[in-house]
Amino acid sequence: MERLQKVLAEAGIASRRKCEELITAGRVQVNDEVVTTLGVKVDPKQDSIRVDGKPIRKQSKVYLLFNKPKGVITSAEDPEGRKTVTDFFKHLKVRVYPIGRLDYDTEGLLLLTNDGDFAHLLTHPKFHVPRTYLATVNGVPHGTMLDKLRSGIKLEDGMTSPAEVDYYDVDPDKKEAIIKITIFEGRNRQVRRMFDAIHHPVIKLKRVQFGPILLTGVPRGKSRPLLPVEVEELRKAAQDVGAGKSHNIHKGELDV
């Protein structure tokens, strides 16, 4: 048994919030009875569910890797009319939504799906899968500054978890450096705030790895389906984190 609004969202009707609005507006029927109460549970395999008189159809699960460009909102829609990640997937017959977020000014690896349970597994704090970024920062941080990030650094919302941090490329002439950083939590604008805290603000930020999945061979603004084995690797990575097992990050060529 699942909540009605979740079943509607996973059938591609609309976002879960919009589906809640459809329910309270009396536009949803379950077994020929209008339902207006949120939280009602249904069996999508047994119950007849209709929206505006039309039966919903169960969709196959879709899992995508997208190379998000800078200047795109990680959202299904934007009230300001800015381009969103879902604008890149209007050709699909199913509705997909992003797993987690990348800031407007951040580019790189973003996963999308129509599988709510999978998205929940990868975004719940208990199962937080490591994310790796390449951060181009102003100036060249001294090793002691990077040690602060490795140990955990105090932000306005508390201490961060220890991060894995290494120099990726240094250009003394440009007075900037690219730092590879892996974090194990998902606070708002966390990587940028961590580098602000050591007085080396981020100039450019790109996510290049999500758990075991690397961003390789996917041009900016393009996507590819995740392989079934990759989906299972992500599930296992999240479950391992939840079980307190050590992180197993694949090493490979990063796409800069």
Q: What does the alpha-carbon distance between residue 38 and residue 208 come to, in Å, rounded to a whole number? A: 39
Percent of the chain with pLDDT strictly greater than 70: 94
Write the CATH number for 28. Answer: 3.10.290.10
Tell whether 151 and 199 lie within a shared domain: yes
Does a structural domain hold residue 255?
no
Domain count across the chain: 3
pLDDT at 97 (0 to 100) = 87
Tell whether 10 and 134 lie within a shared domain: no
Tell whether 217 and 201 lie within a shared domain: no
Does a structural domain hold residue 147?
yes
From 35, 55, 75, the end of a domain falls on: 55
Tell whether 135 and 201 lie within a shared domain: yes
Tell whether 152 and 200 lie within a shared domain: yes
Could you tell me if 170 and 177 are in contact, meaning their C-beta atoms sit under 8 angstroms apart? yes
Tokens of 41: 């549970």
pLDDT at 244 (0 to 100) = 67
Write the CATH number for 223. Answer: 3.30.70.580
Tell whether 117 and 184 lie within a shared domain: no
pLDDT at 212 (0 to 100) = 95
pLDDT at 128 (0 to 100) = 83
Tell whether 108 and 222 lie within a shared domain: yes
Write the CATH number for 205. Answer: 3.30.70.1560
pLDDT at 162 (0 to 100) = 95
> Can 103 be counted among the known catalytic residues?
yes
Could you tell me if 178 and 78 are in contact, meaning their C-beta atoms sit under 8 angstroms apart? no
Does a structural domain hold residue 199?
yes
pLDDT at 242 (0 to 100) = 65
Tell whether 72 and 112 lie within a shared domain: yes
pLDDT at 220 (0 to 100) = 96
Q: What does the alpha-carbon distance between residue 225 and residue 212 come to, in Å, rounded to a whole number? A: 15
pLDDT in tens, the chain (256 residues): 889 998 888 887 887 888 999 999 999 999 999 999 998 999 988 999 999 999 998 778 899 999 999 999 998 788 888 999 999 998 988 888 899 999 999 999 999 998 888 988 898 888 889 999 999 999 999 999 999 999 999 999 999 999 999 999 998 888 999 999 999 988 899 999 999 999 999 999 999 999 999 999 999 999 999 999 999 999 999 988 767 665 555 555 666 6
Coil, strand or helix at 186: coil
CA nearest to 8, candidates 45, 53, 57: 57
Q: Which of 47, 78, 103, 147 is catalytic?
A: 103
Tell whether 151 and 177 lie within a shared domain: yes
Domain that holds residue 154: 130-210
pLDDT at 104 (0 to 100) = 94
Q: How far is CA 17 from the centre of its chain?
A: 18
Does a structural domain hold residue 30?
yes
Does a structural domain hold residue 245?
no
Tell whether 107 and 146 lie within a shared domain: no
Does a structural domain hold residue 44?
yes
Does a structural domain hold residue 250?
no
Tell whether 106 and 219 lie within a shared domain: yes
Does a structural domain hold residue 155?
yes
Tell whether 136 and 120 lie within a shared domain: no
